[in-house]
Structure 1
Amino acid sequence: MSSFDFNYLAGLFPILFRYLGITLQMAAMASVVALVLALVLALIRVFKIPLANGFVVVFISFFRGTPLLVQLFILYYGLPQLIPALIGLDAFSAAVIGLSLHFSAYMAESLRAAIQAVPRSQWEASYAFGMTRIQALRRIVLPQAVRTALPSLMNYLIDLLKSTSLAFTLGLTEIMAKAQMEASSSFKFFESYLAVALIYWGIVLLSTHLQSKLEAHLSKAY
């Protein structure tokens, strides 16, 4: 029975850090797209825009009701068979699109609930001051809704970061894929996967700290 190799574990971190940029870039791009898309979906649900609302309901149901891994496979391996223009889609782009679509469905429901939680009197007061619906939404309602939805949105963003580890199934070489390569070549599976777990854990701890700081900042006015 082989013993735990601390030296091998320590030597893995410089190797994995070389690929950390790919993981963080993928997470950052997917987070921005997911947040923007989630806001659009939430507003369609709140205002019940004809035709679009029905599509959004189905969209959210599908992406919340099916596994992310299956969605990635459909996007990267399945759709190019039906849409030839997607044959040239690279793994990085596919992962970003898949993560964005999947988590936008969850974030949209959080934003929708937060917007609808703002008292109706806030809307009426805004209209009384001569604001349009868009102005009321931007100046009065959304700031309150974002504060309410922030904890759940941050949790989804952290889940998104961790879910980037599934990108290796599309052939993308990021920290999870590199850890698997190192484990396969050295047969030190525990050390290899522990190293990548510690890196993800460190990023999540930092994200959680930033979340608490942001929540405290937004709560000052209250």
Structure 2
Amino acid sequence: MVEVFPTLLDATKVTLFLSVLALVLAFALALVLAFIRYFKIAILSPLVQLYVSFFRGTPLITQLFLVYFGIFTLNQFLTKLSPTYAVVVTLALNSGAYMSETIRASFASVDQGQIEAAESLCMSKLQYMRRIVFPQAMRVALPSLFNSLIDLIKGTSIAFTIGVTEMMACGIYEGSRQFNFFEIYLDVAIIYWILSIILSFLQRKLEKALNVYQ
């Protein structure tokens, strides 16, 4: 366990890279989807609801295979891309579906009276969302968004199925090479656990900072 741990820790860089990149894309996507659902935009809102239902109701690994062996084979440019992009896209689409519901619910938690007051002052939707709804909603959504980040990090473990060498893939390789599967997989589990503990700690710190600011 001690011998292989540094090797697995080095592979964590790929895991974190996949997670952070997917998080940025997922958050941007989730905001757009949440706005569409929150304002009940005609035609788009039912489509978003269908999208969310699909990605929340199907396994992540199935979605990865659909993206990599399906969508990425439809275009010559996409077929030349690294499997890493398929992993990032899949994680972003999956996490974006969950995060959009979290953000939409946090939007709905803001007192309607504040919105009516903003409209009485002739604020546009964009203005009162930016100045009133969004700052309050993010405080409510913060714990769930951090949970989504933790799920993203754990979700990167499926990347090995299409040849991306992240931490889980490294663990499988080392296990096959040394036949010490239990010890190496325990190392992998410990690293995932440590990352989750660090993120939970950061979440609590950020929540306290926001409460003091409020």
TM-score exceeds 0.5: yes
Using structure 2 for the length normalisation, give the TM-score: 0.96
Match of 2:158 in 1: 166
Maintained 8 Å contact 1:76/1:89:
no
Q: Secondary structure at the match of 1:48?
A: coil
Q: Secondary structure at the match of 2:2?
A: helix
Task: Give a deviation string over 1:116-154, Cα, whole Å, max 9, x none.
Answer: 111111111222334221110001001111111111111
Aligned: 1:190 with 2:182 = yes
Write the letter of the residue equivalent to 1:121: G
Q: Which runs of 5+ in 1 are unaligned?
A: 1-8
Write the letter of the residue equivalent to 2:58: T
Distance in 1 (CA, whole Å) between partners of 2:120 and 2:7 is 60
Aligned: 1:115 with 2:107 = yes
Write the letter of the residue equivalent to 2:81: L
Match of 1:55 in 2: 47
Q: Which runs of 5+ in 2 are unaligned?
A: none
Task: Give a deviation string over 1:84-126, Cα, whole Å, max 9, x none.
Answer: 4421232111000000000100010111111011111111122
Match of 1:5 in 2: none
1:28 to 20, 28, 31: 20
Distance in 1 (CA, whole Å) between partners of 2:73 and 2:140 is 42
Match of 1:179 in 2: 171
Q: Percent identity?
A: 47
**Shift, 1:15, TM fit:** 1.1
Distance 1:220 1:129, change over 3 A: farther
Q: Secondary structure at the match of 1:10?
A: coil
Distance in 2 (CA, whole Å) between partners of 1:79 and 1:33 is 18
Write the letter of the residue equivalent to 2:37: R
**Shift, 1:81, TM fit:** 4.0
Q: Secondary structure at the match of 2:41?
A: coil
User: Considering only aligned residues, what root-mean-square deviation do their CA atoms show, in Å?
Assistant: 1.3
Q: Secondary structure at the match of 2:4?
A: helix
Structure ID, larger Rg: 1
2:6 to 5, 14, 17: 14
Maintained 8 Å contact 2:72/2:86:
no
Q: Secondary structure at the match of 2:123?
A: coil
Distance in 1 (CA, whole Å) between partners of 2:144 and 2:10 is 31
2:195 to 199, 203, 208: 203
